[in-house]
Structure 1
Amino acid sequence: MSQSLRVAFAGTPDFAAASLAALLDSRHEVVSVHTQPDRGAGRGRKLTPSPVKALALEHALPIHQPTTLKAPDAQQTLAACDADVMVVVAYGLILPQAVLDTPRLGCLNVHASLLPRWRGAAPIQRAIEAGDTRSGVTIMQMDAGLDTGDMLLVRDTPITATTTGGELHDRLATLGGKAIVEALDALATDDLTATPQPSEGVTYATKLSKAEAELDFTRPAAELAARVHAFNPWPVAWTRLAGEPLRLWLAVPGPDNGTATPPGTLLENAPDALRIACGPDGTQVLHITRAQLPGGKPLAVRDLLNARGERFAPGQRLGQETTS
């Protein structure tokens, strides 16, 4: 088998663009790029190419943007690329069996979790939210199931108590690019072993929504801090302060208050943190260290208190529609 493979690439967001960039720097030949149709962005909803399309344009690669891969013409377009393998990274379209069978070596996926944990749409954020201490990328031989294919290569990385969704996203994007090149190098020399996923430990990472980002202060402090970090930079955890939204960007569990307090009560502020009573009886404390008022930018709480300290008077109950 040749040391160089002809690769059809399918992906859409920044996470996928990192893998495409790595492939373009490898010895393998990217012969076509499939990506989602341009979407409206900004206030004017101007049609904007995906990050993958933007990179493909820079390298003068053939670009295809079907709305579905179930259509015969889309499948014929892929077949005409004569690719040895298709690499799929956060593409956003379902690959029917006819597409999975088109490249002679099948379709490989870069998935941002340690499968079988966190199959599905939002593995990066769900891992942080759940308090996992490790994440990673799995290179998987795709089949017709939802992230159920055999594992070809796994690379892991730690999650700390301060890791945000954005930080883990960027780290895994880079790791995924390196891993897919490594997998293709091994595939080109017939030196890649497929391992079925274990049946134990399967979890599903449901899609993120803005609605779930509103914090419930009856939950434990550690759980709330994990949600704040998981939802940074999107959809961003939030609550209400005097009836207006307050976005919460960074948080840590603080020492317990020791006194039962209505959950969501703003306690006496620390110099660099908002102290919020939480947990079922309000004896736990969540420290918010970075926040954003309406119309403002995300700021360290120390700066918010220096500039707008009157907004954060102790005794207020966060999460209320209006002031009491």
Structure 2
Amino acid sequence: MKKIAVIMGGYSKESSISLKSGNIVYENLCRKHFMPYRVYIFKDKWFMKDDQNREYIINKHDFSVKLNEEILTFDCIFNTIHGTPGEDGILPSYFDLLNIPYTGCNQQYSNLTFNKKYCLSLLKCFGINIAKSMFLNKDQFFSEEKILKRVGLPCFVKPSKSGSSIGVSKVYKQEDLHNSIKDAFQYDEEIIIESFLQGKEISVGVFSFGNEITVLPITEIISQNDFFDFESKYSGKSQEVTPANLSVKVTNRVKRMVKKIYKILNLSGISRSEFIICHDKPYFLEINTIPGLSIESIFPKQLKVANISLSDFFSDFINYSMNK
């Protein structure tokens, strides 16, 4: 029986979502083939919890646990940490050094996809439709007039390396731009200022456990708030329609683009991408290589519509990760 460490938590504000994702994985792993362990990774402490909520400190030198008089090691890591250090490549590189298999893409591609600045710039070179944008580094001089001449109003201000819409704001007036930029810089040293795209927002889940890329049923997102922000995502203030109300032509166009992006970024395992459909053309917004797996999350709902059980899916994901 394979021993699986389901890691959750993390160092960002997404840690609360990661804990929900991790527990969904822990609860749904098949006990006939796997022995799962809940492992929590926070800035101040790495530890494992047993079913009696007793804590056991993780030895960071080899990612082992002293369990009574035995040393517990793991056959595979199931990574459910959104944000740093799980989604930005830090932990993948750590597990590579220890030669422990893990779910998700490696350090190089984790870092690339997590940084919107690099990811958008690369995909644009391959002809992927993206919004007009500008990038700013912290302490860099900028002209509000030049920014708005480029992207227009309204526009979005986003941290380059952040998920769940944390630190994102929508700007309608020039006088609000400075404070939005200042707020975004609290979350990252690089930010993106992006033009507003009027259209239908969709989310597309993808997985590949071999040569074939599978695109899950597409979800249309209808937010009650001004945009699909943190509250909309996790407080029930959005309507999610799966499958999305798209024509066959647009659906096929989205699927082709998603597969193209997946290949360009050399991804493996699972991902979820966001798009805006404008005049039947999909515009890429961002990609998540460790999408949420909580009850509120989109990816598990797409699996359900596709008639794929979480237990089977997680088993396939682990087996692929151990064999690749």
Instruction: Please state which band the TM-score falls in when normalised by the shorter chain.
Output: 0.3 to 0.5
Q: Relative contact order (alpha carbons < 8 A, sep ≥ 6): 1 or 2 greater?
A: 2
Judging by fraction of residues, say which structure has more helix.
Answer: 2
Normalised by the length of structure 1, the TM-score is 0.35
Instruction: Please say which structure displays the higher CA radius of gyration.
Output: 1
